[in-house]
A and B are shown apart, each in its own frame.
Chain A
Amino acid sequence: MATSKNGSSRQRTNKTILGRTLFLAVVCGVVAFIVLGVQLYNVMIREHDKYQEMAVRQQTRSVAVSASRGTIYDANGKTLARSATAYTVFISPYEIKLYHEKEYKSNEKVYNDEPVLIATELNRILGADIDTMLEQMKDTKSWYKTVATKISAELANEVRKFKEEQSIAGVHIEEDSKRYYPCGDLACHVIGFVGRENFGLEGIEALYDDSLEGTNGSVVRLVAQNGTEMLFENYQNYNDAIDGNDMTLTLDYTIQSIAEKYLQQAMEANYIQNGGCVIVMNVKTGEILALANANAYDLNDPWGLPQETLDEIALIEDPEERSKAIGDAQRAQWRNMAVSDTYEPGSVFKIITMAIGLEEGVITENSSFPCYGKIPKGQIPGRDSDLNCWKHAGHGEQNLRQAAMHSCNVAFANIGLKIGAEAYNNYVRAFGIREKTGIDLSGEAGSQWWPDKDFLGWNKSSLASASFGQTFNVTPIQMITAVSAAVNGGYLMEPYIVKEMRNADGDVVYSREPKVVRQVISEETSALVADILESVVGDEGGTGSNAYVPGYRVGGKTGTTTKTALERQTGVREYMVSFCGIAPADDPEVAVLMVLDNPSKESGIYIGGGQMAAPYVGKIMSEILPYLGVQPIYEEGEEALLDVTTPRFIGSGVLAAREKAKELGLSLREVGAGDTVTAQLPVAGAQIAAGSQMIVYLGEQAPQEMVVVPDLTGKNVNAARNQLQNLGLYLDTSGASPAASGVKVASQAVEAGTEVPYGAVINVTLVDNSNLGRY
């Protein structure tokens, strides 16, 4: 065993080992753990928020839930724009590789099979390009490559079926929203359209984008690093989408359709070479009932261009210029002339001058305004040429009503001069001519008026020209708003289109009340103005007679201007013709303004607002007034001039037919010898001119032959009716009263030379040409 020396050395060794073990125990068992504890405290408690935020950011995915865009309705609840669900198909190259590669390893297929299969099938279903998709699938880090957007539910279902049947991973379908415009191009410039991201680009869609689009929501969920959902995790944070507001417009589908129909007819009949627009406004409230421009486009394809435009553009060789031309053409067709363009209003503005003069008391209804064809140069300070009336012979002695009926420039220049520049300027401002109307449409332009110091100076030539609507520009919406103020009792209204908005729950969140900007003239003055305007249309010798509507008290004023600036620059003379009508004159409800830019002589119609625009404003009035519930009141003999709706004679006895025809003021020609009517011409329910001769067939059938339509333009009503009658056709008139002298057929709805069935009704537009002039 150990010696004592060994024993003591062993003792020392033991002491060392013991001591050092104890030291280790303290270091490894206590100190080390205190160090770790401090470090854990730092990371877990002190920096907890920082790390947790960073961790959650990478652990969560937020998926957008798109809000449904609000529907746009017309005043009666007809849908003008709505959103429907569409689908987006996208592929995830990462998943395609991840899942299918695994499969190949076990099945010993070739990896490339799957991308080719996916591309081929998606091409078959969606028409997407195969090469593009194969290229997309090479980017295997990507989770999202769009294949097709805004596809229908049927196509989406087919893709889904393909996915399931072939158990394909990495092809996904996402819900999306697509905007539909059920009425096509109707009111296109008012409604506007949305871009690819459902972002409003034009019209109401653009101006009210925030209200319509709603607020997109999101679903935040926890995902694994590979993007799949975490197992057993139900942490989800919903942020509901708030759907956009539904919108009700003041626009009335029926009135809009009528306005568009007659604008189109006016464009065609008058060979209008530039634009044209029509506005129908409720004069009492400022509600826009219809607003249309001739350059309509399909809202469902706003980028599409008419074929003739495309053909023209195709001729441009330089590709850069070609794409520029396409862009220009698109912008041109989106342009809302009625609010974005200005024009020289011409004689329509005399309404304003007249109202100012009456309100200021410088003239009365009975003031005398002799016209000798011109105001010689020198009489108007600052004007170094004669101021000519459109009628060079002069209108002679006339009172205010007559001056208005004649649309006498000399008279109105004198009225303006009587009012004085300062008062005139102030009233013009009060009528809203010098500010934007504030209509809720995008792109409203302002007028071009003189700076105050120019207008108010010693030079009165501007004042004189302005008095009959020349040498300044306004927008059509400013003009109709000012006219409305002149006839509605004197209140300048703020025109508007959006009447009401409701949120997704149906609660009204916005309701528009008519807004009076200011009272400009007194109710008495206003009533007198309206009364005088009725004379312009309804009285013998009035320049607006072509807007006459039997049974309704339509008033109005014509406008014709030449584009003097253009003529000075290019030598080309272009006209701007317009007509602003109001009805009923005793208590005006609506105003209709039609502006036509650059009619052609080729039309054969005398260039002037009275001949070109007034008949169509009259036609619009003749349809919308009954629609608005205005009761017609026929004057003595007026009823006899109305078109007659043909009765149904078939099946009734010949005596009864005779009696009925007599009652309606129609003559009756009988063919055959039976007792009962077996056929009739024209068919029941047609509109034909008063005094027409109907044919009834007794025991026989009506002939089925075709008849060539004759040229009726320039003929008076009786001649036209007789000519048609001889051919077995019928006349139906619109426009000027057939009773007025000098009324001629200006245009016909069915072109001369067209073959129509025997017994067809030919609609013609009558104009009163007794009083031709640029008024």
Chain B
Amino acid sequence: MVRLGKNAAGAEQTEYAQMDYAGEQLRDRREESRRVERGAFDLPFFLLTLLILSIGVVMVLSASFARAYYKDGNAMGIFLRQLGFAGLGIALMIFLSTLPTAFYRRMTPLLVVITGFMLALVPFLGTGKSEVGANRWFNLGFTTFQPSEIAKIAIILLFAHMICLYRGKMKTFRYGVVPFAGILAVTVFLLILEPHLSASVIILAIGAIMMFVGGAPLWCFLLGVGVVGVVGFVVVNFFPYASSRITVWQDPWSDPLNKGLQTIQSLYAIGSGGMTGLGLGQGRQKYMYLPEEHNDFIFSIVCEELGFIGAMLILFLFAVLIIRGYWLALHAKDRFGSLVIVGIVSLLAIQVFLNVAVVTNLVPCTGISLPFFSYGGTALLIQLGEMGIVLSISREIPLRKKKSEDVEKS
């Protein structure tokens, strides 16, 4: 691991070194934030992010040029836009990595308030009704953005903050469950107003993960699973819209030109890939057969063009990034940082898992983008921003332990 500023080890560092007990790095260090010594960010995590991002941007080009050409006459249009956002995102990531962890903690209340406003307003002032039947976006003129994306990181930061706040009381129902469940309920309610099912699912999942890691009692998860199960059963059996989704999931060919279309075309693309794929750029399903080929279904094109080997390699990179993320969480200096990393990395894992599961028809079809791959400027900025926060926290991982190990070895 490369760390800058080794020589800048000051008096404080020596002080920490003496506080030698298990989990020291997980202290709630809010009050000491001003005195934190910051090193370099975690290079493996950074490089992995860049590598995945690069592959993703190239795949946007491959997936989008056909439709871009036929629709707008400019095959490079979508790619160049994504490339621009990727550059902007890298800058944002590096910038955010320079801000101290404490800054994020301080900003959390403000972010929560802004997110709340936006979520409350987007069903009425947002756009998207005509395209997807739900108002999920704010139109900023040059681009659009989804408040639900912000909501995810807001929930992570808020829950991490609350867990730190209720430390020692997380096992109790009153502190460990009620406030969290209440916030989640309000958020999901606002999302259902849009409506936005996939975002609700992700917010619920990430909220549950934060509670789980934060130490909430395990029985409440059993209860949660039960509630979700019952609600799901009712919805699937009594709401025709939902039940038709299940039918199409089980047999996409029951409605091949309508609801099953995306899944069928996606399976055609993925299945066509075989072991080695048709070659980068050589895919055929992107020629307007597969809808959303550069958005939610970009991984189908990856499979078609790069084959099983290529797809598994990309999933492997994601897995390594995620595991590295948890490693950073385990080594984070304080509890807040650790929880935030767990939240962000788990969010990444959930999105990757659900996206690939959807395109392979492992789970019913719903709109979930693939981080770093799917086309979308603000989503990419937010994802890279989240990586920036992880990198920011990684800067504060203390050198002490490693240094002492070095000393022991010598």
Residues of A within 8 A of B (CB): 6-7, 9-11, 13-18, 20-22, 24-25, 28-30, 32-33, 35-37, 39-41, 43-45, 47-48, 50-52, 54-56, 58-59, 222-226, 228, 230-233
Identify the 4 closest CB pairs spanning chains A and B, nearest first: A51-B271, A14-B23, A224-B287, A28-B349
Is A21 touching B272 in the complex (CB atoms < 8 A)? no
- Count chain B CB atoms within 10 A of each CB in A11, A33, A50 and give the residue with the most: A33
**Alpha-carbon separation in the docked complex, A37 to B313 (Å):** 10
0/1 string, B206-244, CB within 8 A of A gives 1: 000100111100000000000000000000000000000
Pick 11 A–B contacts, CB within 8 A, sort by A.
Answer: A6-B168, A11-B22, A17-B213, A17-B214, A24-B213, A35-B357, A39-B356, A44-B271, A52-B272, A225-B288, A230-B66
Kindly identify, within residues 284 to 306 of chain B, every residue whose CB is under 8 Å from any CB belonging to chain A.
284-285, 287-289, 303
Closest to A20 in B: B213
Contact between A30 and B319, CB atoms less than 8 A apart = yes
> Are B22's CB and A14's CB within 8 A?
yes
Closest B residue by C-beta to A31:
B353
Contact indicator A37/B23 (Cβ below 8 Å): no
Q: Say yes or no: B308 contacts A40, CB within 8 Å.
A: yes
Task: Evaluate contact between B274 and A52: CB separation under 8 angstroms.
Answer: yes
CB-CB nearest in chain A for B288: A225
Further contacts, 18 of them, CB under 8 A, given A30-B323, A47-B271 = A7-B21, A10-B27, A11-B23, A17-B23, A17-B335, A21-B213, A22-B326, A24-B212, A24-B213, A39-B360, A40-B356, A44-B274, A44-B308, A48-B271, A48-B272, A50-B271, A51-B270, A224-B70
> A29: which B residues are within 8 A, CB to CB?
319, 322-323, 326, 349
Give the residues in chain B near A223, CB-CB below 8 Å. 287
Docked-complex contact A232 and B281, CB < 8 angstroms: yes
In whole angstroms, what is the CA distance A412 to B228 when docked? 110
Tell me whether A10 and B356 are in contact (CB under 8 A).
no
Residues of chain B having any CB pair with chain A under 8 Å: 21-23, 26-27, 65-66, 69-70, 75, 167-168, 170, 209, 212-215, 267-275, 281, 284-285, 287-289, 303, 307-308, 311-312, 315-316, 318-319, 322-323, 326-327, 329-330, 335, 338-339, 342, 345-346, 349-350, 352-353, 356-357, 360-362
Residues of B with C-beta under 8 A to A233: 284
- A58 and B289: CB pair below 8 A? yes
What A residues does B342 contact at CB under 8 A? 21, 24
Q: Which residues of B lie under 8 Å from residue A55 when comparing CB positions?
A: 268-269, 271-272, 284-285, 289
Q: How far is the CA of A28 from the CA of B361 in the complex (A)?
A: 19
A41 to B311, CA, bound (A): 10
Complex: A513 Cα to B275 Cα, angstroms: 60
Chain B residues closer than 8 Å to A43, beta-carbon distance = 267, 270-271, 303, 360-361
Given contacts A33-B315, A52-B274, A231-B65, contact A39 B362 (CB under 8 A): yes
Report whether A13 and B338 are in contact in the complex, using a CB–CB cutoff of 8 Å: no
CA distance A642 to B191 in the complex (A): 114
Using A10-B27, A11-B23, A51-B268 as known contacts, say yes or no to A20 and B287 having CB atoms under 8 A apart. Answer: no
Q: Which residue of B lies closest to A48 (CB)?
A: B274
Name which of B287, B312, B322, B327 has the most chain A CB atoms within 10 A of its CB.
Answer: B287
In whole angstroms, how far apart are the Cα atoms of A56 and B278 in the complex? 12
CB distance from A409 to the nearest CB of B (A): 81
Contacts A11-B21, A21-B330, A224-B287 hold; do A45 and B275 have CB atoms under 8 A apart?
yes
Q: Which of A16, A28, A41 has the most CB of B within 10 A?
A: A28
Query: Which chain B residues border A59 with CB–CB below 8 Å?
Result: 284-285, 287, 289
Whether the pair B346, A24 counts as a contact (CB closer than 8 A) is yes
Residue of A nearest to B69 (CB): A231
Q: How far is the CA of A10 from the CA of B168 in the complex (A)?
A: 7
B152 to chain A, nearest CB (A): 15
Most chain B CB within 10 A, of A18, A24, A54, A56, is at A24
Q: Which residues of B contact A6 (CB under 8 A)?
A: 168
Q: Is the CB of A13 within 8 A of B168?
A: yes
Do B170 and A13 have beta carbons less than 8 Å apart? yes
Residues of B within 8 A of A17 (CB): 23, 26, 213-215, 335, 338-339
Min distance, Cβ A170 to any Cβ of chain B, angstroms: 16
The answer to whether A54 and B357 touch (CB under 8 A), given A28-B322, A29-B319, is no
Contacts of B289 in A (CB 8 A): 55, 58-59, 224-225
Taking the closest CB of chain A, its distance from the CB of B166, in whole angstroms, is 10
Instruction: Find chain A residues with CB under 8 A from B362 CB.
Output: 35-36, 39
Interface centre among A10, A16, A40 (most CB of B within 10 A): A40
Known: A17-B335, A40-B311, A226-B70. A28 touches B271 (CB 8 A): no
Residue of A nearest to B275 (CB): A45
**Which residues of chain A are within 8 angstroms of B272 by Cβ–Cβ distance?**
48, 51-52, 55-56
Residues from chain A with a CB closer than 8 A to the CB of B319 are: 29-30, 33
Name which residue of chain A comes closest to B311, CB basis: A40
A30 to B353: give the CA distance in the assembly, Å.
11
B214 near A25 with CB under 8 A, answer no
Give bound CA distance, A146 to B401, whole Å. 82
Q: Which residues of B contact A24 (CB under 8 A)?
A: 209, 212-213, 326, 342, 346
- Shortest C-beta distance, A390 to chain B (Å), equals 82
Q: In the complex, what distance in Å separates the CA atom of A17 from the CA atom of B25?
A: 12
Most chain-B Cβ atoms within 10 A of its Cβ — which of A25, A35, A224? A25
| A residues less than 8 Å from B214 (CB atoms) | 17
A492 to B362, CA, bound (A): 79
B308:A45 contact, CB within 8 angstroms = yes
Answer whether A224 and B66 are a contact pair too, CB < 8 Å, given A24-B346, A59-B289.
yes
**In the complex, residue of chain B having the shortest beta-carbon distance to the beta carbon of A229:** B287
Closest CB-CB distance, B212 to chain A, in whole Å? 6
Quote the shortest CB–CB distance from B148 to chain A (angstroms). 21
**Across the two chains, which residue of chain A brings its CB closest to B277?**
A44
Residue of A nearest to B362 (CB): A39
State how many angstroms separate the Cβ of B93 from the closest Cβ of chain A.
Answer: 21
Most chain B CB neighbours (cut-off 10 Å) among A17, A35, A47, A225: A17
Q: What A residues does B318 contact at CB under 8 A?
A: 33
Alpha-carbon distance A25/B323, docked complex (angstroms) = 6
Please indicate the chain A residues that have their CB under 8 angstroms from the CB of B168 in the complex. 6, 9-10, 13
Complex Cα–Cα for A230 and B271 (A): 20
Bound-state CA distance A54–B253 (Å) is: 12
Which residues of A have CB within 8 Å of B22?
Answer: 11, 14-15
* Bound-state Cα–Cα, A228 to B73, Å: 14
Cα distance A232–B274 in the bound complex, in angstroms: 21
Please judge, given known A-B contacts A17-B338, A32-B349, A231-B69, whether A37 and B287 are in contact too, CB under 8 Å.
no
In the complex formed, the residue of A with least CB distance to B209 is: A24
- Tell me the bound Cα distance from A18 to B25 in angstroms: 11
